[in-house]
Amino acid sequence: MMGGQQFWRKKVMLVRSLIDSDLQAFLHQYHIPGLAIAVVQAGELTYQQGYGFANLEHSIPVTEHTVFEIASVGKVFTAMLVVLLADEGLLTFDHSVRDYLPDLPVAWQPVTLRHILSHQSGLPSYTEVEDYWDRTHLNLPPLEVLGWVSHLPLKFKPGDYVSYDNTGFYLLGLVLETVTGQSYGELLRDRIFQSLHMTQSQINDPTELVPQRAAGYQWRNSRLCNKPYYSPAMTYAAGGHLASLADLVKWEQALCKGTLLPHDRLAALWQPRPSALGQEWTTWGYGMGLGWFVLNYGDRRVVGHNGSIVGFASNMTRFLDDHLTVIVLCNGDGIARPDAIAKTVAGHCNAAIAALPLQPPM
């Protein structure tokens, strides 16, 4: 018995050493000031570590309680709110978004909440307007941001193709506020964060004092710089979220236990929903669930989401059949594939995952 325990301890130490080595290399290669990572196996936290600095100017190290901007990883929270309210009868997946927001363009009538959640809406994306990056410092109300694209037709018939879309998730925030009478931030707090004791998670407000908030950085002209101001009006329900690693571990554990939704309802979030005319599952290597990417790893079920915003990058990947989840948070935006970090770390924990080729980006 003692020999078996010693073998297991040596294996764990080796895995942690390999993870440490790889993450130090990632920090250097992609000029990332700080990174936090967690591995959760069958709902149990097995590895949690901070690397580098949350704030370079004050030499503050990253810990599990460092608060990061998680960008589009926050879309999974928006999706959860929609499902929770649908289960209460306040929303219907197959109703038009205009049933809840009648002032939207008539041309958007065919778009349902289900289309939006599975990125099959055909809505024009406000982040793709020609001078978008000249507007990102503006603090505007959501309807004014939507006004940038409200005169545009749909890009395709809803349901025909998958096309990643921020406009739809922006609209979901307004839908949620309309049917509840609460702000999106209040809904997050009351329906998810307080229930799971996620005390460091909230919608982002750059003017608010947030304990242990990480500074965001960019690599420009061969040196690290503080990120420029990026208004939360540009993200809202599509990715304007703050969270710490410790809080996202609580979120993962709640998914494992079915705390907010029973397991059969959660499974519906991760069921790939192929579009009518696209071939994303075979051509791109992924499909869309409801607010989650579903990766084509053959018979192995894998779901997750990347987040990318000025100064930050993040990922959460859940290897469902292996009962293994990796969470990655960075305060530098130089890495386009935070999911690749998660896949590498998962491979150290599970040799079968290591043998799988990395699928296209989420």
pLDDT of the residue at 11: 55
Instruction: Report the alpha-carbon distance of residue 67 to residue 336 in Å, rounded.
Output: 20
pLDDT of the residue at 17: 84
Mean pLDDT over 285-306 rounds to 94
Instruction: Report the alpha-carbon distance of residue 287 to residue 274 in Å, rounded.
Output: 6
Kindly list the distances between the CA atom of residue 148 and the CA atoms of 71, 117, 170, 320, in Å, as whole numbers in the listed order. 21, 21, 13, 39
Q: DSSP letter for 9, please.
A: H
Contacting residues for 105 by C-beta, under 8 A, at least 6 apart: 150, 151
CA 283 to chain centre: 23
Q: DSSP letter for 206, please.
A: T
pLDDT of the residue at 49: 95
- Quick one: three-class SS letters along 60-93? EECCCCCEEECHHHHHHHHHHHHHHHHHCCCCCC
Long-range contacts of 251-259 (CB under 8 A, 24+ apart): 251/192, 251/196, 251/198, 252/38, 252/40, 252/43, 252/316, 252/318, 252/325, 252/327, 253/40, 253/43, 253/45, 254/196, 255/318, 256/40, 256/42, 256/43, 256/323, 257/43, 259/195, 259/196
Question: Residue 6 pLDDT > 70, yes or no?
Answer: no
Mean pLDDT over 156-173 rounds to 96
Mean pLDDT, all residues of the chain: 93
Residue count of the chain, please give it: 362
pLDDT of the residue at 361: 65
Question: Residue 135 pLDDT > 50, yes or no?
Answer: yes
pLDDT category at 2 given cuts 50, 70, 90 is very low
Tell me how many degrees the CA angle 198-302-200 measures, rounded to the nearest 5: 10
Instruction: Report the alpha-carbon distance of residue 188 to residue 85 in Å, rounded.
Output: 12
Question: Residue 12 pLDDT > 70, yes or no?
Answer: no
**pLDDT tens column, 325-361:** 999 999 999 998 999 999 999 999 999 999 999 887 6
pLDDT category at 14 given cuts 50, 70, 90 is low
**pLDDT tens column, 208-255:** 999 999 999 999 999 999 999 999 999 999 999 999 999 999 999 999
Contacting residues for 134 by C-beta, under 8 A, at least 6 apart: none
Mean pLDDT over 105-121 rounds to 97
Mean pLDDT over 187-197 rounds to 98
pLDDT category at 16 given cuts 50, 70, 90 is confident
Q: What is the pTM of this model?
A: 0.94
Residue (of 294, 311, 304) closest to 341 by Cα position: 304
Residues 101 and 174: beta-carbon distance below 8 Å: yes
pLDDT category at 362 given cuts 50, 70, 90 is low
**pLDDT tens column, 69-112:** 999 999 999 999 999 999 999 999 999 999 999 999 999 999 99
pLDDT of the residue at 10: 52
